[in-house]
Amino acid sequence: MLEKLCNLNGVSGTTDAVKDFIINEIKPYVTEITVMPCGNIIAFKKGKYTPPKKVMADAHIDEVGLIVKDITDDGYLKFDEVGGFDERILLSKRVTVGENCIPGIIGIKAVHLATKEEREKVVPISEMYIDIGAFSKEEAEKYVKKGDTIAFVSEYKKIGQNSVKAKALDDRVGVAALISALKKDAEYDYYAAFTVSEEIGTVGAQSAAEFVKPDIAIILEGTTCSDVPGTREHEQSTNQGKGPALSVVDRASYSDKKLNVFIKKIANENNIDFQLKRTVMGGNNARSIQLSGGGVKTAVLSVPLRYIHSPVSVMNISDYENYEKLVKCFLDNIGRAGEIYD
């Protein structure tokens, strides 16, 4: 299922393919599905019991990508970013443009025409273009238009003994884990929110939280992992092979301390490996959910991803397996949520 999700295109603002896939997967297993005007999917899962506090699990369905902002007279596409990423990853990447998935390549001026200064600097997006094989603006406009989103081309593949590479692992890991939980019997009622537009400002999460009005929310994410040569140990946010990562604080939210203690306790009781995220960079849907209504207790549980927000993110399979287990154990124990409020 994770492979199918990653191979779908769902750049922020154009997530219908992902939305339709999710609905088809979860429809037989949930009590009610609401599709909000913004594109959020809110599913209610009826359990054996009603917990003392209303709980929502959130995973965003959009991915980073690009958008066409202009078409040159000679048929090249000028573009900008949708979501944040390192511009260094873009050169020579394969992409598809628009609803019809028109193939293209990201290029720049030929190296033998570049000055010494140009060759030594990081090329900004403003100097790049996408070549779709058109020779005029009129020809290009037969296939694409301004405002079309652009997705990276990268198939989900296993590498090594226990890893996979793919685009959009952030946050199809969260989506897949939440779908997996919904397909199993639930001890307690909970809401599953599959939200849009996280990559451009946690937009969907705010309306989802206002709709559900949870007391507690767990945000299911992918997070940065830089356990690679050149990164000192104390700078490594997470490490692959050590389990899912529990956040303490980032640039957008502060996780509830009692909720984090509760999750650690559940992980230890069920012999599930986990780690603490050791840096404070980044942000996620906890930012908007935490501030909704009268305030929501939030926790963020993530899968460590090398080369996040690129066409070739890398994930450790055992980390994901432990992630799925911990998500399900958390949802099966939310009847004890009173502990969080003691």
Sign for the CA dihedral angle at 61, 27, 217, 241 comes to negative
Tokens of 236: 């490594």
Q: Dihedral sign, CA of 1, 24, 201, 58?
A: negative
Please give the Cα distance from 190 to 40 (Å, whole number): 16
Pairing between strand 157-159 and 313-316? unpaired
d(CA 265, CA 246): 12
Please indicate whether residue 63 is annotated as part of the active site. Answer: no
Q: How far is CA 62 from CA 20, 68, 73, 225, 311, in A?
A: 13, 18, 32, 20, 14
CB 250 within 8 A of CB 332: no
The 10 Å Cβ neighbour count of residue 131 is 14
Neighbours of 72 (CB within 10 A): 13
Residue 33: CB atoms within 10 A of its CB come to 15
Q: Which of 198, 199, 221, 324 is catalytic?
A: 198
Instruction: From 341, 340, 328, 319, select the one nearest 162 (Cα to Cα).
Output: 319
Q: Is the dihedral of CA 279, 282, 284, 286 positive or negative?
A: positive
Beta strands in the chain (DSSP E): 32-35, 41-45, 55-60, 65-71, 77-82, 94-97, 102-107, 129-131, 149-152, 157-159, 163-166, 190-195, 216-225, 245-246, 275-276, 297-306, 313-316
Q: Quote the CA–CA distance of 262 and 253 in Å, as a whole number.
A: 18
Which whole-number Å values give the CA distances from 280 to 236, 239, 252, in the listed order?
A: 11, 15, 9
Active site residues: 198
